Chains A and B, each alone.
Chain A
Amino acid sequence: MSAAVELRQVSKVYGSGPAEVHALRGVDLSVQAGELVAVMGPSGSGKSTLLTIAGTLEEPTSGQVVIDERELAGLSRNELARLRRRAIGYVFQDFNLLPGLTAVENVALPLELDGVRVKAARAAALVMLERLGLAERATRFPDELSGGESQRVAIARAVIGERRLLLADEPTGALDSVSGEAVMRLLRTACRDGVAGVVVTHDAQLASWADRVVFLRDGQVVDQTNPRPGPESLLTPGVKP
């Protein structure tokens, strides 16, 4: 199966001369449809840069980015904008919902921007909110929603339509652990439904929801987790009489 997103020897340099910062150095990363990958590293390791480059929000200094078998460098500005609108969903730590729009309007927005008629887009958004258990909050504005609800709305907005790639930057950062877990369950379910997911985080609990954890240090991929035997192996007797 081909990768939904692939980074090949991607490097990113900010500034020049003595002020030069190498945010990424020759990163290779490939994520299949249906797979959730966590990129884990401390602040300054290049996580967010990796995500913005995978999400076409920034261009690499060198290397290639391939989304759905199309190399981004070969796309026109319009094609790139369309790819970004249709194929890629973003989830941020601070939700980034538009405050003047209701939950359902926020979720419908990507479809409307893509030319879907308002009525059809809102209907699709409502279905998505229902799936995330938020139907009764659909007409609320972001400042009337809890943090957990806001992030679920943001996820609904990120996966609506025919998105192929879901990118999340510390998506549970501001949430308590129960709400955070609900968010990770949703991201995992979205990936099971065929989306390729990339979550960047410094948080091991959050990363442990991923199928694979990639470790980033100083702009380089230094290691990744391997699949282990099933969870039954953990449940060994531990009784002391």
Chain B
Amino acid sequence: MSVRHALLALLSDGPKYGLQLRQEFESRTGEVWPLNVGQVYTTLQRLERDGFVESEGSGGPQNVFTITSAGADELAAWLRTPAEVMPPPRDELVIKVLVATSVPGVDVSELLQVHRRHMVEAMQQYTHIKSDMAEDDVELGLIVDSELFRIEAVVRWIDAADARLKQYPAQPRRTPAPVPRLGRARMGSRR
């Protein structure tokens, strides 16, 4: 989440005070991303340094910020920049399942079910937010949907893994698989 660009977006419909920016940021993100006021001012200082905003006033909370044309260009470019493809949270799960196939005595199907249940429980919590919210609360709806689709993808992977392992049960290996090394590298990049 880029606070920089979110602030530029909020300034694009007119000059604003720092506190006002914080309030609008939180209400537009469905209050899912609380932002402290220090973070807002630090970010505004950097934006000013980079020539993307200008300020007027006696300093501190009295300052009014205005987006510059360079700031508007920066915002337009950012909106169209491909989003970072975050390392999917299922990575850790993939590693666990890969490891489990070579651990004697582990029922992988049962293990998959444990994770399936966790994921569906998390989805129930998000859907609960959706069923409680006003149907026209677009911001919150968008955020909740994105989480639901992300977790659903994990559940679908679990279902596919279950079916695949049922069809081709994992064979005991004679030599250690390179999986744990891969696992450490990937998990390290997530944290």
Residues in A lying within 8 Å of B, measured CB to CB: 40, 42, 181, 185, 188, 202, 204-205, 207-210, 213, 215, 217, 222-226, 228, 230-231, 233-235, 237-241
Contact = CB atoms under 8 A, between A and B. Distances in A.
A223 B117 contact: yes
27 contacts: A188-B131, A202-B159, A204-B120, A204-B152, A204-B155, A205-B123, A205-B149, A205-B152, A207-B120, A208-B126, A215-B116, A215-B117, A222-B110, A223-B113, A223-B116, A223-B117, A225-B117, A228-B122, A230-B125, A230-B128, A231-B125, A231-B129, A234-B126, A238-B1, A238-B32, A238-B33, A241-B42
Contacts of B130: 181
Contacts of B155: 204
Nearest to B4: A241
Contacts, number: 88
A239 B34 contact: yes
B121 A228 contact: yes
Chain B interface main SS type: helix
A241 B113 contact: no
Given A231-B129, A237-B33, A210 B124 contact: yes
Contacts of B117: 213, 215, 223-225
A42 B33 CA distance: 37
Contact of A233 (B114, B125, B162): B125
Contacts of B147: 234
B3 A239 contact: yes
Nearest to B119: A204
Nearest to B34: A237
A20 to B, nearest CB: 20
B58 interface: no
Interface of B: 1-3, 31-35, 39, 42-43, 109-110, 113-114, 116-117, 119-132, 147-149, 151-152, 155-156, 159, 162-163
A227 to B, nearest CB: 9
A202 B152 CA distance: 11
Contacts of A222: 110, 113
B86 to A, nearest CB: 11
Contacts of A240: 1-3
A70 to B, nearest CB: 32
Nearest to A40: B120
B124 A208 contact: yes
B134 to A, nearest CB: 12
A204 B150 CA distance: 12
Contacts of A215: 113, 116-117
Nearest to A192: B131
Which of A204, A207, A226, A237 lies at the interface centre, i.e. has the most chain B CB atoms within 10 A of its CB? A204
Contacts of B149: 205
Contact of A241 (B3, B34, B125, B156): B3
Contact of B35 (A40, A233, A239): A239
A234 B2 CA distance: 20
Given A215-B116, A238-B1, A228 B124 contact: yes
Contacts of A213: 117, 120, 124
A172 to B, nearest CB: 13
Those 9 A-B pairs whose CB atoms lie nearest each other, nearest first: A208-B123, A208-B127, A204-B155, A231-B129, A208-B124, A231-B125, A225-B121, A239-B33, A231-B128
A188 B125 CA distance: 15
Contacts of B31: 235
Given A204-B155, A215-B116, A42 B163 contact: yes
